[in-house]
Amino acid sequence: MCCQCGGAALSSVNPFRLCGGLRVLGYLMLPLVAAIAGAVYYAVVAAVWGPRIVKHGHVSDLALFIVILFHLLLVMVIWCYLRVVFSDPGSVPHDWTPPVEQGVIGQSDVQDPSIDTGIRHCARCQNWKPLRCHHCSVCDRCVLKMDHHCVWVVNCVGARNYKFFLLFLVYTFLETALSALALLPHFISLFSGESRHTDSTMNLSITFIASVLSAAFALSLLCFICMHVSLVLTNTTSIEIYEKKSSALWRYDLGNFKNFEQVFGTKKRLWFFPLYSAEDLENISALQGLEFPIQANAV
């Protein structure tokens, strides 16, 4: 669903030009996603379940429940989406230099591979790259604890908006799964001939397309969420998957629960919202994206 341009370099194609095209693709996706969302909204709320809330003077609890849940999830999807799009994923402060204990300091060491420390220098930004930081060719800048560049949100996903991105995935999955399940009985009854439909052809077409797209989105999102759950629980970014495979001991792995807190914060009441407490933002260094706690065995 998302493209990763972190370290990819094609020998015969200028990767920077290729990634610039992906930015344009991202802007083209926005009206497409808005059109799909509009069709699903129309199908679930206006065509199928809205008219059933009050029928023949009776209120349907099921129809009311589905319409209210649909709107609550929609609010969460939009809120998380806006937070991913408009949050800075994390950029390297202009005057940042590696801490002495972490690595080399000074321009004379620019060529030093710094293998032991992981500290690198970015030739394009002319700046130091902290641990887990990567240069995004689409945004053309270094991103702290970069996970990937996502064309769907037209932004990079990094240290400061990864939680928002994950919540966006989860709420979008719940919304699309609800839509698919809510529209499915409508079709079964129509195709099995149990009920004679009075829908217009346009209504039927939109409802059918919306249900198929909802089911397809829900299934693909579920796979994507499963992958990210395993990444969160092992404190790994999408870019680091291969690096982790080749290392016997993953130094950022602090245990499942602590790894989870490194992304979602320590305040349980905020786990389900695209927010952090001021305390977490101050105390969890991984959210600032410049330094990361390392497991005791790896020191």
Contacts with Zn ion by CB under 5 A lie at: 122, 124-125, 135-136, 138-139, 142, 149, 156
Nearest-approach distance from CB 143 to Zn ion, in angstroms: 6
> Closer to Zn ion at the Cβ: 16 or 65?
16
* Pairwise CA distance, residues 7 & 148, whole Å: 10
Report which secondary-structure segment, H or E, holds 162: helix 162-191
Nearest-approach distance from CB 122 to Zn ion, in angstroms: 3
> Closer to Zn ion at the Cβ: 20 or 293?
20
> Closer to Zn ion at the Cβ: 53 or 151?
151
Nearest-approach distance from CB 39 to Zn ion, in angstroms: 29
Q: What are phi and psi of 86, to 5 degrees?
A: -100, 0
Nearest-approach distance from CB 8 to Zn ion, in angstroms: 13
**19, 80, 133, 150: which is the annotated catalytic residue?**
150
List CB contacts of 88: < 8 A, sequence separation 6 or more.
160, 161
Identify the burial level of 150 via C-beta atoms within 10 angstroms of its C-beta, where 0-12 means exposed, 13-18 middle and 19 or more buried.
buried
Taking the CA atoms of 187, 192, 195 and 196 in sequence, report the sign of the dihedral they define: positive
Joined tokens for residue 253:
């792995």
> Closer to Zn ion at the Cβ: 156 or 169?
156
Judge whether 276 and 287 are in contact, CB under 8 Å.
Answer: yes
> Closer to Zn ion at the Cβ: 53 or 136?
136
Nearest Cα residue to 66 out of 145, 165, 182: 182
Nearest-approach distance from CB 135 to Zn ion, in angstroms: 3
Nearest Cα residue to 40 out of 83, 85, 70, 60: 70
150 is catalytic: yes
Q: Which residues are catalytically annotated?
A: 150
